[in-house]
Amino acid sequence: MPGAIVLSSSMPPEQSTGPKLKPTLLFVDDEERILRTLRLMFTSRYAVRTTTSGHEALDILRRERVHALVSDQRMPIMPGVELLRQAREVSPNTMRLLLTGYSDLQAVAGSINEGEIFRYISKPWNSEEIRVTIGSAVDIALSLDNPPPDEIHPEPLDERILVIDDDPDTARQITALLDQRMPGRHRVVCAADVESLLQVLQQDDFALVISEVRLAGENITDIIKALKRHQPHVVTLALTSYQDSATLVGLINQAQIHRFLLKPMRGALVWRGIESGLQRHRAMRASPRLADRHQVDSPERQAHPAARRILSFFQGLGKKPN
């Protein structure tokens, strides 16, 4: 089951490896007391580095292999999102997590779009949850050691893109965008309601999903989450006018959305999102292990009846979640 992470699996093999081989965590926060408590908490299982400075954090990332970077958002000099963005360049195989007490929508969106974070953890945190979350981040990072080089994957023909939006303009604009940038290569399928969504999912396999957060006034994040849970290689972009940071945090932790884009849609931004999303999808197709990186937490509840239907639909299809 994805999401149901067993605690023991997150611990490195104990006796066989010496203490020097403990995976490394890097915590960044402007409050030293936060750093101290985190160090005490994780020091028995991990090599823990801490710093109050984003610049020093980047130095550490350049110097040594860090498996997971956990950063606060609001810090003087270099805000968390900026650190995560640079960390992504300096050390792409370090899993990035945000641990913060308060942040505005802009910061959360930035952590997705620029930081491509694995999880968003709120302060004050639950110690069991943070152990599990960091454990699974480290597991993924360990599996990424000696990864295949980040090669450009050939563009296969006929990749299908699913647009979930009740505004027909969105699909029209995206089709026009694709026709202009790479004519004839892709097929855009649109689902304007839950019924047609179920139908197209039955007929097609998609590379990329571009989804609104609400359909006919109803929140469909549960559906987006269910989709990601069962088809981790499908990359999701949220394209919405709905601005709510709590919803967004859910979409990070439980749907690993690739980009969060605000309407009115801006062609260049959406195109960049599509391009990197397809790149990501091809990489995961080529090496399914990468899909682990997109592991999601299981939502606490499947409130939306359609989400339950999607679940049973996937089970009915026999598409076993990996």
Partner 1 sequence: MSELESMLVPLAPLSPAQTVNEVGEILLDREYRRFLCLPVVDRGRPVGAISRDEVQSIFMKMYGRELNGRKPIFSVMNPRPLVVDMDQSLDQVGRYISANIRFPITEDFIITRNGEYVGVGHVVDLLGAMQSRLGRANSELTQACERLKSSRAQLVQSEKMASLGQMVAGVAHEINTPLGYVKNNVGLARDLLDQVGRRLAVCEALLARLVSGEADEAEVEASLAEIAELRENMGVEVASEDIAALFDDTQYGIDQISEIVLNLRDFSRLDQAPVDSVDLNQCFDSALLIARNAIKYKAKVIKQYGAIPKVRCSPSQINQIFLNLLTNAAHAIEGEGRIAVKTYADQRFVHVEVQDTGKGIAEEHLTRIFDPFFTTKPPGEGTGLGLSIAYQIARRHNGHLRVVSKLGLGTKFRLSLPLTEP
**Minimal distance in Å, beta carbon 182 to partner 1?**
36
Residue 219's nearest CA partner among 307, 106, 316 is 307
Measured at the CA of 37, the angle between CA 126 and CA 89, to 5 degrees, comes to: 85
Residue 288's nearest CA partner among 93, 87, 173, 143 is 143
Binding mask 250-289 for partner 1 (x = CB under 8 A): ----------------------------------------
Part in contact with partner 1 (CB under 8 A); list of ranges 39-47, 55-63, 136-144, 152-160: 39-47
Contacts of 97 (CB under 8 A, 6+ apart): 68, 69, 70, 71, 117, 118, 119, 120, 121, 133, 134, 137
- Out of 6, 7, 21, 43, the residue judged to bind partner 1 by CB under 8 A: 43
Is position 37 an interface residue for partner 1 (rule: CB under 8 A)?
A: yes
Residue 67's nearest CA partner among 111, 18, 10 is 10
**Minimal distance in Å, beta carbon 34 to partner 1?**
5
Give the total residue count for the chain.
Answer: 322
- Out of 102, 179, 195, 266, the residue judged to bind partner 1 by CB under 8 A: 102
Is position 70 an interface residue for partner 1 (rule: CB under 8 A)?
A: no
β-strand partners of 159: 186
- Given the complex with partner 1, which of 34 and 220 has the nearer CB atom? 34
- Given the complex with partner 1, which of 34 and 66 has the nearer CB atom? 34
CA–CA dist 188, 208 (Å, integer): 10
DSSP reduced 3-state for 107: helix
The dihedrals phi and psi of 305, each to the nearest 5 degrees, come to -55, -35
Is position 124 an interface residue for partner 1 (rule: CB under 8 A)?
A: yes
Q: How many helices (H) and strands (E) does the chain have?
A: 11, 12
**Minimal distance in Å, beta carbon 102 to partner 1?**
4
Using omega within 30 degrees of 0 as the cis cutoff, is the peptide bond preceding 264 cis?
A: yes
Is position 123 an interface residue for partner 1 (rule: CB under 8 A)?
A: yes
- Out of 25, 34, 226, 290, the residue judged to bind partner 1 by CB under 8 A: 34
Size of the site for partner 1 (CB under 8 A): 20
Is position 107 an interface residue for partner 1 (rule: CB under 8 A)?
A: no
Is position 76 an interface residue for partner 1 (rule: CB under 8 A)?
A: yes
Answer for the pair 170, 214: CB distance below 8 angstroms, yes or no.
Answer: no
**Minimal distance in Å, beta carbon 311 to partner 1?**
34
- Given the complex with partner 1, which of 37 and 199 has the nearer CB atom? 37
Interface residue list for partner 1 (CB under 8 A)? 31, 33-34, 36-38, 40-41, 43-44, 74-76, 101-102, 122-125, 127
